[in-house]
Structure 1
Amino acid sequence: MNNKMNVTASHWVLIVALLFAAFACYLLVEPYINSIVMAFILSLLMFPIHEWIERKLPKHKNIVALLSCIVLTFIIVMPLMLVFSAIVQQGSVFSQNMYQWVTGGGIQEVIAHPWVVTGLDFVNEYLPFDAINPQDIAQKAAEFATSLGSNLVAMSAKILGDATNFLMNFFLMLFVLFFLLRDHDKLIAAIRHILPFSRSQEDRLLSEIEKVSKSAVMGSFLTAIAQGAAGGFGMWMAGFPGLFWGTMMGFASFIPVVGTALIWIPATAYLLITGDTGWGLFLAVWSIAVVGSIDNVLRPLLMQGSAGMNTLMIFFSLLGGIHLFGLIGLIYGPLIFAITMVLFNMYEEEFKEFLDGQDRS
């Protein structure tokens, strides 16, 4: 009996030591955790391509993993570079046109528009705000237009710094991805060996993690690309720089509740106020009927079937994920929810007799 107690105590010591060591390891990799998680998810998305290359070169695992990483680089980096250069060019043209419009009296015309005058009168009379002077708005707009050049320089420097940081994280992710693809079978076998579950439970858990990881990426990023493309087309038809504003709408689609309306509502208002009523109505109808329906239909469709998660759960997983983790939370949120649902289902099956007995009591 004493021997049994000693063994149990040693087991607890080992578990506690392992938890401390695991936490220390987490602190070491925590600054790079997003790159590691993205490498894991991209390995799932890239695995069909990796398997196809591996069938062509079955005895060269290192070369196969390297080729898969090179393919991924061309798929992601090259289009991003082309889009980024076009965005910079269109953004520069837009800033110049904006400056000319404001300094040429365009803002004065907008302020003098009857709709704007009526709206400002309503705000000043009925809403508990300080009185808004139209001339103050014109002055602020002129100051903004005057400082737009220096602001663009500062923004360009920040974008360059972010791009450098992105490249560093991307190459770190590629480094991790290389080993995940090369040693995929060994890693899965090790995870299965460590998990204290039955084989069927391990299959369910790993399958759900794979499914939700793919659906989170596809649901969020493909929706953003689709909304950006559709929104950019609508903006281009209405006379705006399509690629620049389409990209802005793609980024705005990640913002819960507001989404692409952050871009198209001011653009529509501008068109209506400046007299382009037809194009303003077109942009509003296009954005609501086409761009909005993409978010309402495509995202839930791509994220369906994740551990029985309904639309409401998916919404809160995305909202909470962004709140806690930032943009990467679009992946973390659904993944945490889905794993919790799978573990809950496993708990329900494991203690089914006890739970049924509690229901009957």
Structure 2
Amino acid sequence: MISKGHHRLNSTNSYSQSKTFYIKKQPAIEVKRGFDKLLASIVIVVLALFLAYALTPYITAFFTAIIFFTLFNSTHSLLSRYFGKQIAAGLVIVLTILIAVLPLILLIPAMLGQVGPVASQASELISMIPDPDTSIPSNIRDFLSSQISSAATFLRGLLISAIQSLGSATVSLIITYFTLYYLLTNKERAGEITLKIIPFKKESAIRLIEEFKRVTYSTIVATGVVALVQSAIFTATLFLLRIDGALIWGLLALIASFIPVAGIPFVWIPAMILQFAQGNMIAAICILIVGLILSNVVDNLLRPFIQKRIGALHPLTSLLGLIIGLPFFGMAGVVVGPLLISYFLLLVRMYREEYF
């Protein structure tokens, strides 16, 4: 009896000691686990920042791939029924090259040669302003002249940098189309990864993706198509009238079309005044007629028609997007800038709805 009781007592003591040891050991394990988690988080953040820094020159490439995917996803789905995913992705890539890349490759060298004539025309336009004694103060005249000179230098710099950075542009194109090919051929996997990394509930994340699509369409299609139509008609008019620098005037019209409220009149009115001052009355009248059509018919009929079906971009978003986009992304900033502003506002709205 005594030995059995003694055995039970020893067992109880052993259990108590092991329990005490476990309780003492538990906080140490949790501390070590917390330290390991913190260390792993720091390593991940540092690597993420390094990768983001290393890939900064190619952010436009990834962004372009996402835009192409959003715009041509339905086209790829249609082609996949007949050719399979891989071949359909190749056809979409060829289509985007024909629509977006090839025209730029052909137009940029031609535009570069026309910067000088347009700058001369602008300087001539400033010189036609009456004497400062009777109308405009000399400091305003000097300011306008300097701004035109700066704008011409900036535009020339954009075009020259586009040619000089041919190597990096080639790398960017490769990254764009590799990313686009992956997105098109692995839609389901890409969708799963996207839903996991978006810091919202699944329902909110799905709604966010749909909103991203809507914003992209409203920016690229609604605003972009109208800008392209206006720019193309204006450029063709200047070509038919044999006016020097038609491509540069057209490029300026394209950029101006993204500016809310005023838009393309910023370009066609100075062009008309210049032709009128030079005595080219027929050219001036033609530019006036075409300009009025673009400003009234296209802006007041085509733009609302498209926006009603696709979506409208807020004027302030367009303006801020241009201000931010052009210096950081060059010519691509005309589209990328407004998109970034739209995406930021969308994320803020979703964040507020999700957590507040």
TM interval, shorter chain, is: 0.5 to 0.7
User: Which amino acid letter does the alignment assign opposite residue 176 of structure 1?
Assistant: T
Q: Which residue of 1 aligns with 2:96?
A: 72
1:35-50 paired onto structure 2 within 5 Å: 35-50=61-76
State the shift of 1:275 in Å.
3.3
The answer on whether the counterparts of 1:204 and 1:342 sit within 8 Å (CA) in structure 2 is no
* Deviation readout 1:214-240 (Å, 9 max, x if unpaired): 332224532332111221244356553
State the shift of 1:255 in Å.
7.2
111, 129, 143: which one aligns with 2:138: 129
Q: Secondary structure at the match of 1:253?
A: helix
State the shift of 1:200 in Å.
0.8
40, 60, 63: which one aligns with 1:14: 40
Is the counterpart of residue 230 in structure 1 residue 240 in structure 2? no
1:151-166 paired onto structure 2 within 5 Å: 160-161=163-164, 166=169
Q: Which residue of 2 aligns with 1:265?
A: 269
Q: Which residue of 2 aligns with 1:52?
A: 78
* Deviation readout 1:36-55 (Å, 9 max, x if unpaired): 11112112222122212222
Shifted more, 270-279 versus 288-297: the winner is 288-297
Cα distance in 1 for partners of 2:57, 2:104 equals: 24
Cα distance change, pair 206–4 in 1 and its aligned pair in 2 (3 A): farther
Cα distance in 2 for partners of 1:18, 1:68 equals: 35
Cα distance in 2 for partners of 1:70, 1:264 equals: 34
* Deviation readout 1:73-108 (Å, 9 max, x if unpaired): 2333455566668x579969x96xx99x9xxxxx8x
State the shift of 1:163 in Å.
5.9
User: Which amino acid letter does the alignment assign opposite residue 191 of structure 1?
Assistant: T
Cα distance in 1 for partners of 2:255, 2:322 equals: 14
Is the counterpart of residue 120 in structure 1 residue 124 in structure 2? no
State the shift of 1:19 in Å.
1.7
Cα distance in 1 for partners of 2:220, 2:231 equals: 16
Q: Secondary structure at the match of 2:243?
A: coil
Q: Secondary structure at the match of 1:120?
A: coil
Structure 2 gaps, min length 5: 1-25, 146-156
1:207-218 paired onto structure 2 within 5 Å: 207-218=210-221
313, 319, 322: which one aligns with 1:315: 319
Cα distance change, pair 296–194 in 1 and its aligned pair in 2 (3 A): same
The answer on whether the counterparts of 2:68 and 2:180 sit within 8 Å (CA) in structure 1 is yes
Cα distance in 2 for partners of 1:39, 1:128 equals: 50
1:177-196 paired onto structure 2 within 5 Å: 177-196=180-199
Cα distance in 2 for partners of 1:339, 1:56 equals: 34
Cα distance change, pair 279–42 in 1 and its aligned pair in 2 (3 A): same
The answer on whether the counterparts of 1:220 and 1:299 sit within 8 Å (CA) in structure 2 is yes
Cα distance in 2 for partners of 1:346, 1:310 equals: 18
Cα distance change, pair 340–308 in 1 and its aligned pair in 2 (3 A): farther
User: Which amino acid letter does the alignment assign opposite residue 312 of structure 1?
Assistant: L
Cα distance in 1 for partners of 2:341, 2:309 equals: 13
Q: Share of identical aligned residues, percent?
A: 20
Cα distance change, pair 196–10 in 1 and its aligned pair in 2 (3 A): farther
State the shift of 1:303 in Å.
6.4
Taking structure 2 as the reference length, what is the TM-score of the superposition? 0.67
Is the counterpart of residue 34 in structure 1 residue 43 in structure 2? no
| Bigger Rg, structure 1 or 2 | 2
328, 336, 340: which one aligns with 2:332: 328
Cα distance in 1 for partners of 2:139, 2:91 equals: 62
User: Which amino acid letter does the alignment assign opposite residue 183 of structure 1?
Assistant: N
The answer on whether the counterparts of 1:318 and 1:334 sit within 8 Å (CA) in structure 2 is yes
The answer on whether the counterparts of 2:321 and 2:337 sit within 8 Å (CA) in structure 1 is yes
Q: Secondary structure at the match of 2:138?
A: coil
User: Which amino acid letter does the alignment assign opposite residue 65 of structure 2?
Assistant: A
The answer on whether the counterparts of 1:321 and 1:333 sit within 8 Å (CA) in structure 2 is yes
Cα distance in 2 for partners of 1:301, 1:167 equals: 37
